[in-house]
A and B are shown apart, each in its own frame.
Chain A
Amino acid sequence: MRYLPLTGADRAGMLAAVGASSVDELFRDVPAAARLPGPVDLPRHLGEWEVEQAIGAMAEKNRHSGRLASFLGAGAYRHHIPAAVDHLIQRSEFLTSYTPYQPEIAQGTLQYLFEFQTQVALLTGMEVANASMYDGSTACGEAVEMARRITGRGRVVLSGNLHPHYAAVVKTLGALHETEIVQGAPAPAGEADLAPALDTETACVVVQYPDVFGHVRDWSALAGAAQAAGALLIVVVTEVVSLGALVPPGAMGADIVVGEGQGLGVGLQYGGPYLGLFAARQKYVRQMPGRLCGETVDAEGRRGFVLTLSTREQHIRREKATSNICTNSGLCSLAFSIHLSLLGEAGLTHLAALNHARAVQAAEALAAIPGVTLATDAFFNEFTLKLDRDAAAVVEALVERGVLAGVPGARLWPGDAALAGHLLVAVTETNTPAEIDAFAAALREVLA
């Protein structure tokens, strides 16, 4: 048993020191009827090579993005992760450390969290950011809860073009407090102005940027309307690389910006773990969920970092905490931070421009195919195609031709016939011009 260091002799000696005749005696507080007489009905332990074979066989059954040309997005994006990122996050001192509750021997984690908070604040154009959340969708749910706390109001307006999983999380949490949730239908060709939906009972309006269909639009006017109604504007960003090319939500007047940081450093991982970003105006900092790292000095006057404002958190405040979040996504925030440090200002803006340019090329090539209409005018690296038939069937047909063509509307909005012909296509720097050509050729063939 390679992970268990105790030998039979060790165990006997330790039992003698404890004064017990057997380990069973140490379990004597467990009701006799609940003590299992023998091993549960599961296989015995395997050697390292056997475990690799068993898990590796499952991995082999997946046809992943490296084996097919992938144009999948809708909240998870395939970007190239520099080798240095994974190497550094696998350093033991990062990988196997715990929450930095002993700051004197956790300055590595604390300093990168402080740097991460700064990076997120800069990208979003906001004043402060926290040390990460579980993912973008739960961060979105928490942002709505925060807006309810700040405004004391119980009505929430959601954009119809908010990622449906994000809207579902908001609705799940909202059900706890009889929150009234107002949401229009998804509009692939663009969404009407949300300002008329706001009233004096509205806690917040939640929009996505770029939205789930890929549209980018200026939310400044909506920010003004929200402010006038006493509501908060929450902007959701699911593709963080877009912030290298776009006016940041903070510059449009957002009150809270949440996002999915997976696109930098974290990888696809079939949906998790991902990285929730959470930024807000300074005046709301004491209402923010999650951990915060702050600068201070040590007994010798040297700069150092600690977790701070923890009186908001469950381990101190218990039932009066601002959320029940305990864990953050520490290691994912480190990966994000390293990737962004490698890119720097020049690298991120270049990466974003490259994504955008490739996406424009792909959109033009695909929209030229008979039976295909481009439904998105202004977009970053993701756009929506309207096909003349069921998009899910087209996607399966394209798998056979080596292409993961995108996310069909039916996957995100099951049962919504109006969206069944829509295909969400994402293009990143990992999609070469040759891949784009092959996608267009295959789609042309399938639709012919």
Chain B
Amino acid sequence: MNRQGRPSAPGTAGRAGAADTVLGHRGLDHEEALIFEQGQEGRTGVDLPPVPAVEGRLGALARKGPIGLPGLSEPQVVRHYVRLSRRNYAIDMGLYPLGSCTMKHNPRLNEKLARLPGFADLHPLAPPSTTAGAVELMATLAHWLKVLTGMPAVALSPKAGAHGELCGIMAIRAAHVAKGEGAVRTRILVPESAHGTNPATAAYCGFKVDPVPATADGRVDLAALKAKLGPDVAAIMLTNPNTCGLFERDIREIADAVHGVGGYFYCDGANFNAIVGRVRPGDLGVDAMHINLHKTFSTPHGGGGPGSGPVVLSAALAPFAPLPWVVETDSGFALVEDAAGQSFGRLTAFHGQMGMYVRALAYMFSHGADGLAQASSDAVLAANYIQARLADVMTAAFDGPCMHEALFDDRFLKDTGVTTLDFAKAMIDEGYHPMTMYFPLVVHGAMLIEPTESESRESLDEFIAVMRRLAEAARAGETERFAGAPHYAPRRRLDETAAARKPVLRWTPPAPAQAAE
């Protein structure tokens, strides 16, 4: 194996007191060189038929130099990725309490169905006569989303939650333009507790972002909101349940107030899993809301994506939805890819995240109307259980019931010398992925915990016991378990400052002189 580049140095790898190993491995935890530091020229992991002798048509554009890719056999490649996989925490390994992100069980049934050749091997531009089942599936998913949200229309194509926000705000923008108010509706109200994507989306669409403060009990300050209303307000972007894990009690008043000045109500639906089957956003006065299929309906996060972010729309916004959409016909369903009218255009090539639609619909069918309501109930119960059982050793940020996530702040760490970050890293040593830290920004040293409905009571109790023990250890001055944490992860704390100061974003071959050393 070619170990050029910058392999980890054997002999420095062991943690304090551990024996050094020859290659830096620690038992089953293997150090793994980059794929570019392995392999041999000419080796390959695929067998392909011979290339027929033809006169090429590339002319002067035929590639001349090598690309620089390494050559490995199939077993080498399999081993590389299996070893890498073992350096990741995942929902299938244990509780993943990230708040605001919803780590759900990912049923393998959904994976199996998404891989049926009828969906997986279907070309997006195949003749309509060959794709009836795919369009039917899209129509069925759209129906479920409309019924669950109480909204009349849905745009399926957005590729992720933030892309859905873009879709919703563009529909709102198009509606104002259609009314001749495009030039005057320049401001979007965004509560301070909003996901960062909300202000980013509003600004990206050319709007001025006007923050709305929160009250002491973690909700939108209704009086401050009303004071900001005016004829230049295009919309409010609100997350509900909000990022403090709380339901906005004044939601109807907020909707009415914004509607009263001619603005629209965009709801960030990232937390829809707290209320699905029990509350319909359409009944709250929402005009547009994206639904993170990957959060609420369980499509896997895959290390950061793909996601899928369909947007439900009120009757007022429906005409402005992006292409394509599905319509019912005499003989079934049809995909409309081109239409005159008020659509604001196309957000992406083809029809959106079909593979995610299949997974989400399988999850919906598996739960049904009854199961989805039970799932949100259990998610809310689990979060409140954690909040209640930790209230005496950690500090809940707000009083009263939370929705699907429990928010703590760092008051319980005061004068201990332990920070929220230290606390989170110590959780890694206990075998847990940390909760969300330092978000929402409205709470100091925030720790946002979302257990979801898929944890058993035993699993919740075990997590609670660990959190209690860590909180007690911090209070007892056991600082060494925090300051140096994690001790037992594949890596100790990583130098993020160095990474940003002098970015190394790709592997480069070592210089010949170095290689000779």
Which A residues are in CB contact (< 8 Å) with B365?
43, 45-46, 50-51, 54-55
Determine the residue in chain A with the shortest Cβ distance to B53.
Answer: A357
Which of A122, A321, A334 is within 8 Å of B303, CB to CB? Answer: A334
Q: Is A253 at the interface (CB under 8 A from chain B)?
A: no
Q: With A72-B125, A169-B346, A414-B338 in contact, is A108–B84 under 8 Å at CB?
A: yes
B486 an interface residue at 8 Å Cβ cutoff? yes
Query: Contacts A61-B118, A111-B84 given: A272-B199 contact, CB under 8 Å?
Result: no
Q: Does A70 contact B (CB under 8 A)?
A: yes
Is residue B325 within 8 Å, beta carbon to beta carbon, of the partner chain? no
Interface of chain B residues 483 through 517 with chain A (CB within 8 A): 484, 486, 489-496, 498-500, 503-507
Closest B residue, CB atoms, query A404 = B126
Please give, as numbers and ranges, the residues of chain B lying within 8 Å of A373 by CB-CB distance. none
Q: Does A193 contact B (CB under 8 A)?
A: no
Q: A62-B131, A105-B89 are in contact. Are A325 and B486 (CB under 8 A)?
A: no
Cβ-defined contact, A36 with B71, below 8 A: no
Interface centre among A97, A109, A295, A310 (most CB of B within 10 A): A97
Q: Which of B55, B111, B130, B374 contacts A90 (CB 8 A)?
A: B111
Q: Which residues of B contact A396 (CB under 8 A)?
A: 127, 129
Considering only residues 164-187 of chain A, those with a C-beta below 8 Å from chain B are 165-166, 168-169, 171-172, 175-177
**Minimum CB–CB distance for B43 against chain A, Å:** 6
Contact of A316 with B196 in the complex, beta carbons under 8 Å? yes
Do residues A296 and B498 form an inter-chain contact, with CB atoms below 8 A? yes
Q: In the assembled complex, which residues on chain A have CB atoms less than 8 Å from the CB atom of B385?
A: 14, 17-18
Q: Measured between alpha carbons, how far is A357 from B109 in the docked complex, in Å?
A: 40
CB distance from A272 to the nearest CB of B (A): 4
Taking a contact as CB atoms under 8 Å apart, the answer to whether B345 and A171 are in contact is yes
- Residues from chain A with Cβ under 8 Å of B262 in the complex: none
Q: Does B51 contact A341, Cβ atoms closer than 8 Å? A: no
B381 touches A301 (CB 8 A): no
Given A115-B507, A177-B206, A342-B44 contact (CB < 8 Å): yes
B353 at interface (Cβ–Cβ under 8 A)? yes
Interface presence of B366 (CB below 8 A) = yes
For B119, the chain A residues whose CB sits under 8 A away are 59, 62, 64, 269-270
Partner of A104, one of B60, B116, B375, B425: B425
How many Å from the CB of B51 to the closest CB on chain A? 5
The interface size bin for chain B is 35 or more
Q: Interface centre among B118, B173, B300, B358, by most A CB within 10 Å?
A: B118
Among residues of A, the one whose C-beta sits closest to the C-beta of B292 is A327
A32 CA / B206 CA spacing, docked (Å): 37
CB–CB B51/A353 < 8 A:
yes
A interface footprint on B13-47 (CB within 8 Å = 1, 0 otherwise) = 10100000000100000001011100101111110
- CB-based contact A268/B121 at 8 Å: yes
**Interface pick from A22-30, A199-207, A440-448:** A22-30
Given A26-B384, A329-B305, CB of A62 within 8 Å of CB of B133: yes
**A34, chain B: closest CB distance, angstroms:** 4
Taking a contact as CB atoms under 8 Å apart, the answer to whether A64 and B351 are in contact is no
Given A64-B122, A97-B88, A99-B303, also A135-B348 (CB < 8 A): yes
Closest B residue to A340 by CB, please name it.
B69
B-contacting 9-mer, from A153-161, A227-235, A374-382: A374-382
Q: CB < 8 Å: which of B57, B80, B305, B352 contacts A331?
A: B305
Complex interface residues of chain A between 400 and 447 (CB less than 8 A to chain B): 404, 407, 411-412, 414-415, 429, 433
B147–A172 contact, CB under 8 A? no
In angstroms, how far is the closest chain B Cβ from the Cβ of A309? Answer: 6
Verify if B7 is at the interface (C-beta below 8 Å from A). yes
| B63 in the interface (beta carbon within 8 A) | yes
Question: Which one, A107, A123, A313, contacts B491 given CB within 8 A?
Answer: A107
**Set A34, A45, A171, A243: member contacting B367, Cβ < 8 A:** A45
B6 at the interface (CB under 8 A from A): yes
Please state if A294 and B505 are interface contacts (CB–CB under 8 Å).
yes
Please give, as numbers and ranges, the residues of chain B lying within 8 Å of A407 by CB-CB distance.
Answer: 125
B137 within 8 A of A: yes
Establish whether residues A343 and B45, one from each chain, have CB atoms under 8 Å apart when the complex forms: yes
The residue in chain B whose Cβ has the minimal distance to the Cβ of A380 is: B58
| Residue A224, interface by CB 8 Å | no
> Are B120 and A115 interface neighbours, CB within 8 A?
no
Contact call B78/A96, Cβ cutoff below 8 A: no
* B346 adjacent to A104 (CB under 8 Å): no
Q: Once the chains bind, are A104 and B491 in contact (CB under 8 Å)?
A: yes
**With an 8 A cutoff between CB atoms, is A326 at the interface?**
yes
The CA-CA distance from A36 to B503 in the complex, in Å, is 52
Asked if B462 lies at the interface with its beta carbon under 8 angstroms from chain A, I say no
A91 to B85, CA, bound (A): 7
Smallest distance from the beta carbon of A67 to chain B beta carbons, Å?
8
Q: Determine which of A5, A118, A324 lies in contact with B454 in the assembled complex, contact meaning CB atoms within 8 Å.
A: A5
List A residues 285-330 near B (Cβ within 8 Å): 285, 291-306, 308-311, 313-321, 323-330
Which of B90, B134, B373 has the most chain A CB atoms closer than 10 A to its own CB? B90
Residue in A20, A169, A342 whose beta carbon sits within 8 Å of that of B77 in the complex: A342
Contact A39 B247 (CB under 8 A): no
Interfacial chain A residues near B44, Cβ < 8 Å? 342-344, 346-347, 350
Contact mask A71-103 → B, CB, 8 Å, 1/0?
010111010001010111111111111111011
With an 8 A cutoff between CB atoms, is B216 at the interface?
Answer: no
Interface membership of B261, Cβ < 8 A? no
A28 in contact with B401 (CB, 8 Å) = yes
A246 with B63: CB separation less than 8 A: yes
**Residues in A neighbouring B283, C-beta threshold 8 A:** 33-34
* A330-B98 Cα distance, complex, nearest whole Å: 18
Contact A39 B277 (CB under 8 A): yes
- A-binding segment of B155-163, B224-232, B466-474: B155-163
A10: B residues at CB distance < 8 A? 456-457
A63 touches B (CB below 8 Å): yes
Residues B433 and A61 in contact, CB atoms below 8 Å apart: no
Alpha-carbon distance A357/B61, docked complex (angstroms): 15
Give Cα A412 to B338, complex, Å: 9
* Contacts of B54-93 to chain A: CB distance below 8 A: 54-64, 66-72, 74, 77-78, 80-82, 84-93
**Among A42, A64, A108, A291, which residue has its beta carbon within 8 angstroms of that of B147?**
A42
CA distance A175 to B169 in the complex (A): 13
Among B86, B117, B122, B362, find the residue whose CB has the most chain A CB atoms closer than 10 A.
Answer: B122
Q: B209 touching A344 by the CB < 8 A rule?
A: no
In the bound complex, residues from chain A placing their C-beta under 8 Å from that of B457 are 5-6, 10, 13-14
CA distance A172 to B344 in the complex (A): 7
Give the chain A neighbours of B259 by CB distance below 8 A.
none
A283 touches B (CB below 8 Å):
no
Report B-chain residues with C-beta under 8 Å of the C-beta of A177: 206
Report the separation of the CA atoms of residues A49 and B453 in the bound assembly, to the nearest whole angstrom. Answer: 23
The winner among A60, A78, A271, A396 for most chain B CB atoms within 10 A is: A271
* B63–A331 CB distance below 8 A: no
Q: Does B477 contact A (CB under 8 A)?
A: no
Q: Does the CB pair B67–A348 fall under 8 Å?
A: yes
Q: 12 new A-B pairs (CB below 8 Å) besides A63-B131, A300-B15? A: A27-B380, A51-B109, A115-B35, A163-B349, A176-B206, A243-B67, A268-B123, A294-B503, A319-B200, A319-B209, A330-B302, A344-B71
Q: What are some 7 contacts across the A-B interface (CB < 8 A)?
A: A42-B369, A92-B91, A97-B302, A271-B354, A273-B308, A292-B505, A327-B306
Closest 6 CB pairs of A and B: A331-B302, A271-B350, A59-B118, A61-B133, A45-B368, A271-B124
